[in-house]
């Protein structure tokens, strides 16, 4: 009997130690994973803005995140924007609530620092302090505003939409007039050699330079991608172009107004990205214009 107890106690202690070790390893690796993901997203955003290791971002470039929530109070639905605001020399957050027509409803100071705002649980705690029951809220999306000096440089929009197989995650960069600066495919599980080619420069770079009016009318065309256009699209920033300098402007002008050339054998994936990008841009432009009207009317001291 004593031997059984000894073995049981020994196994229990071993299990507890193993669980402690595994838990510790998970915490460390999870933190490392989140850090790597954060660095990857940061590098992607800077890359879309044209900054690289050889051409680093200037010191006065700042990135500010707006978090959008859907708030429900019985049958009434409103939109809540967590806005980075100036608080002395630091950045804090305010919650601006507007109705679905874009009219101002209310606003609250939030007890959350700029550093903690990146964590979803911290944001939820801050929102619960001002949105009392029966109000409920759910996270919708986020927008990163790039500010260079005193001017807005660009909007960075994480987005997700349905592809041919599963979901496609992207990052879009728009200038203040909503012209597309660049598109990056963050995650996708389309068919290798077919739909997965959406991540190639010769496809995703077709969106770069499209104005807001052009984006609203974008379609997919089932025509072979012209070779000269493909070479132009595959030329990376900072690299020597295979196209003579004198021809670059002519090629850009020739194809700028064109729709998106579909990938061979992957029209559905091509259309999914085109429609997804069009949807993200048009909805964002509508929302940010109404939000800016509220910010101006209420004199909210935004940081961006």
Is the pLDDT at 194 greater than 80? The verdict is: yes
Is the pLDDT at 24 greater than 80? The verdict is: no
Band (pLDDT 50/70/90 cuts) for residue 213 is very high
Q: What is the DSSP string of 83-126?
A: EEEEETTEEEEEEEEEETTS-EEEEEEE---TTGGGSHHHHHHH
Strand ranges, E, within 120-243 = 136-148, 151-162, 167-174, 180-187, 220-221
pLDDT tens digits, residue range 217-235? 999 999 999 999 999 999 8
Calculate mean pLDDT across residues 37-46.
87
Calculate mean pLDDT across residues 43-66.
96
Q: What is the pLDDT of residue 235?
A: 85
Question: Which residues, at least 6 apart from 126, have a Cβ–Cβ distance to it below 8 Å?
Answer: 93, 110, 111, 112, 117
Q: What is the pLDDT of residue 34?
A: 54
Q: Which residue has the higher pLDDT, 31 or 137?
A: 137
Is the pLDDT at 39 greater than 90? The verdict is: no
Distance CA 160, CA 108 (A): 30
Distances in whole angstroms, Cα of residue 177 to Cα of each of 93, 157, 172: 25, 14, 14
Q: What is the pLDDT of residue 6?
A: 74
Q: What is the pLDDT of residue 108?
A: 98
Give the up-direction half-sphere exposure of residue 67: CA atoms within 13 A in the CB hemisphere.
24
Calculate mean pLDDT across residues 70-98.
96
pLDDT tens digits, residue range 140-149? 999 999 999 9
CB 144 within 8 A of CB 161: no
Closest CA to 49 of 174, 210, 231, 165: 174
Q: What is the pLDDT of residue 17?
A: 82
Calculate mean pLDDT across residues 63-88.
97
Is the pLDDT at 295 greater than 90? The verdict is: yes
Band (pLDDT 50/70/90 cuts) for residue 29 is low
Calculate mean pLDDT across residues 107-130.
97
Calculate mean pLDDT across residues 203-209.
97
Distance CA 209, CA 212 (A): 9
Q: What is the pLDDT of residue 10?
A: 67
Closest CA to 178 of 192, 157, 194: 157
Quote the percentage of the chain above a pLDDT of 70: 91
* Average per-residue pLDDT for the chain: 92
Band (pLDDT 50/70/90 cuts) for residue 16 is confident
Total number of residues shown for the chain? 304
Q: Hey, where are the domains in the chain?
A: 41-304
pTM as predicted: 0.86
Task: Tell me the Cα Rg of the chain.
Answer: 24
């Amino acid at each position: 009997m004593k031997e059984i107890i000894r073995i049981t106690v020994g196994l229990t202690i071993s299990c507890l130690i193993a669980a402690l070790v595994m838990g510790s390893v998970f915490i460390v690796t999870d933190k490392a994973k989140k850090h790597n993901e954060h660095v990857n997203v940061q590098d992607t955003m800077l890359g879309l803005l044209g900054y690289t290791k050889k051409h680093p971002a200037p010191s006065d470039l700042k990135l500010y995140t707006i978090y959008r929530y859907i708030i429900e109070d019985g049958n009434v639905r409103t939109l809540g924007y967590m806005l980075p605001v100036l608080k002395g020399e630091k950045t804090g957050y305010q919650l601006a609530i507007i109705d679905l027509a874009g009219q101002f409803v209310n606003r609250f100071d939030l007890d959350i620092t700029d550093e903690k705002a990146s964590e979803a649980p911290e944001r939820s705690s801050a929102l619960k302090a001002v949105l009392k029951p029966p109000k409920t809220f759910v996270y919708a999306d986020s927008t990163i505003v790039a500010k260079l000096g005193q001017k807005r440089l660009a909007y960075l929009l994480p987005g997700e939409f349905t592809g041919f197989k599963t979901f496609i995650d992207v990052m879009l960069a728009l200038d203040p007039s909503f012209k597309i600066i660049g598109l990056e495919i963050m995650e996708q599980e389309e068919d290798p050699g077919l739909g997965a080619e959406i991540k190639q420069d010769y496809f995703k770079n077709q969106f770069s330079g499209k104005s807001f009016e052009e984006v609203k009318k974008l379609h997919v065309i089932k025509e072979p991608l012209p070779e000269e256009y493909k070479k132009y699209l595959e030329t990376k920033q900072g690299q020597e172009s295979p196209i003579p300098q004198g021809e670059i402007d002519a090629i850009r002008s020739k194809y700028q107004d064109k729709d998106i050339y579909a990938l061979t054998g992957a029209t559905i994936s091509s259309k999914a990205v085109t429609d997804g990008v069009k949807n993200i841009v048009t909805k964002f432009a509508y929302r940010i214009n109404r939000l800016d009207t509220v910010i101006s009317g209420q004199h909210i001291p935004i940081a961006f």
